[in-house]
């Protein structure tokens, strides 16, 4: 059952919000010991919210399209009265006194916060296996990573514990686990969804977005959480009253898709490449135009992203480095220490060049509607694995996971990962659809067209 169907059943009073929460809790208690997708299960708070929402239903009041629907929230997004740990021992007992703006919006739409999803500590890692509360495991193979840093957010949806979740993305942290776990993950345009009340990793790179089982539900969630927020200094003001689902179901015939031919994008695991090529064939069948493009300045963008995340993470965690060394995971701590090595002039230069690099990239979308690249060049790796081989070349797992996603955090472009198939070993593979700023509805249009064809094949 999906969100839209469940919402209809709730409205018709065929099932109550209390029953929905109880059934969801049963799934979580059954499956979470295997995946470790949740750090905190907010049973008491969820049941109390469900009772309120049930009473409102009886009285004829419907808050919105998520009325009575349980949602998981990444455990570095503040939830009033519910523990928020950042996946760290330092915040093991931290309970916020306020909700993040995105949580406020979910509650206004009738959502029930069922629990807090596991995260790579401080969200500073794309692997998802470094949390004080233990590694999050891939529901398709418990020995494999779920991807990070929104590891639990994706795993909870993939394991059918919840129908939707909210993650954050600083270098790929929504799209990476979405691909690894076979679900849909949207990194919206930078500033489209308020970051107020989310623990920072990198001020100018952090994004918040929805993770769901399908495109329609992802657009539904984005409609709810998007919008200007004066509490977020990076919030954009032209994000009101857009229906991000408005192009879903419309033909992509005659539309133009760009395939990145830079060598930066082409070193792929064979099964990933085969799945990607199948998607290109499907789009051709749908009579979209396929054109090869060179993404401008991609290496420079990737370098600037690396400088920016290091400098800003170092600033965020200056106190943690000084006061809590023994309480931070060794690997995360080492990465934070290495982040201090960025020189001030390097950071300034990366920001001075940013508008030019973004402008150059967006010019690409004068000739194509969207750009497509694989989300990940590799299949999900073993938990604890830190080196991976791609076509006889050994690279760090972290570098491989981040390579195709992180440049678009620096530029702030909208990017959507959707599942496109399974490897021979039964692991999910994803494709990434990238658009210019504000083109989320176009990404959903193309994503739905592909999703429909793959579902019919």
Place of tokens 């694995």: 385
Q: Dig out the tokens for 402 from the structure.
A: 């981040």
Q: Dig out the tokens for 257 from the structure.
A: 């898709």
Which of these is catalytic: 74, 107, 187, 216? 74
Q: Are 23 and 69 in contact (CB under 8 A)?
A: no
Q: What is the DSSP string of 250-295?
A: ---TT-EEEEE-SGGGT---HHHHHHHHHHHHHHHHTT-EEEEE--
Q: Dig out the tokens for 94 from the structure.
A: 């931290």
| Whole-number Å distance between alpha carbons of 32 and 136 | 10
Catalytic residue list contains 339:
no
90 CB-near residues (< 8 Å, 6+ apart): 320, 324, 327, 328
Catalytic residue list contains 74:
yes
Which of these is catalytic: 131, 146, 149, 417? 149
Catalytic residue list contains 150:
no
The SS3 of residue 422 is strand
| Whole-number Å distance between alpha carbons of 187 and 175 | 7
| Whole-number Å distance between alpha carbons of 77 and 166 | 9
Residues in the chain, total? 457
Direct distance between the N- and C-terminal alpha carbons of the chain, in angstroms, rounded to an integer:
21
Q: Report, as residue numbers or ranges, the catalytic residues.
A: 74, 149, 173
């Amino acid at each position: 059952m999906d969100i839209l169907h469940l919402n209809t059943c709730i409205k018709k009073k065929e099932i109550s919000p209390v029953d929905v929460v109880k059934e969801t809790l049963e799934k979580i208690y059954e499956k979470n010991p295997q995946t470790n997708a949740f750090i905190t299960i907010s049973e008491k708070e969820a049941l109390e919210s469900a009772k309120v929402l049930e009473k409102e239903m009886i009285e004829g009041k419907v808050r919105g399209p998520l009325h009575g629907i349980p949602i998981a929230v990444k455990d570095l997004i503040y939830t009033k009265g519910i523990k928020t740990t950042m996946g760290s021992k330092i915040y093991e007992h931290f309970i916020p006194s306020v909700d993040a703006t995105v949580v406020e919006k979910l509650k206004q739409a009738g959502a029930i916060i069922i629990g807090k999803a596991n995260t790579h500590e401080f969200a500073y890692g794309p692997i998802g296996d470094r949390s004080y509360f233990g590694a999050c495991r891939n529901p398709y193979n418990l020995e494999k990573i779920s991807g990070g840093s929104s590891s639990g957010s994706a795993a909870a949806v993939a394991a059918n514990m919840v129908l939707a979740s909210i993650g954050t993305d600083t270098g790929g942290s929504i799209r990476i686990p979405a691909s690894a776990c076979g679900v849909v993950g949207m990194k919206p345009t930078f500033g489209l969804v308020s970051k107020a009340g989310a623990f920072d990793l990198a001020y100018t790179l952090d994004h918040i977005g929805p993770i769901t089982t399908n495109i329609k539900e992802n657009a539904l969630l984005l409609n709810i959480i998007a919008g200007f927020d004066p509490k977020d200094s990076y919030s954009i003001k032209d994000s009101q009253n857009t229906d991000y689902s408005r192009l879903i179901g419309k033909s992509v015939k005659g539309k133009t898709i760009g395939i990145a031919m830079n060598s930066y994008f082409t070193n792929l695991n064979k099964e990933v490449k085969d799945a990607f090529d199948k998607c290109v064939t499907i789009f051709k069948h749908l009579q979209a135009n396929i054109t090869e493009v060179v993404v401008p300045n991609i290496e420079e963008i990737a370098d600037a992203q690396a400088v920016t995340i290091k400098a800003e993470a170092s600033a965020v965690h200056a106190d943690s480095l000084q006061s809590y060394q023994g309480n931070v995971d060794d690997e995360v701590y080492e990465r934070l220490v290495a982040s201090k090595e960025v020189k001030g002039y390097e950071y300034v230069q990366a920001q001075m060049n940013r508008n030019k690099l973004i402008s150059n990239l967006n010019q690409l979308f004068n000739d194509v509607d969207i750009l497509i690249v694989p989300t990940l060049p590799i299949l999900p790796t073993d938990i604890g694995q830190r080196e991976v081989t791609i076509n006889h070349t050994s690279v760090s797992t972290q570098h491989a996971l981040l390579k195709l996603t992180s440049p678009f955090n620096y530029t702030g472009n909208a990017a959507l990962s959707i599942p496109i198939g399974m490897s021979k070993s039964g692991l999910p593979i994803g494709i990434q659809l990238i658009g210019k700023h504000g083109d989320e509805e176009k990404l959903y249009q193309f994503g739905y067209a592909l999703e429909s064809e793959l579902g019919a094949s």
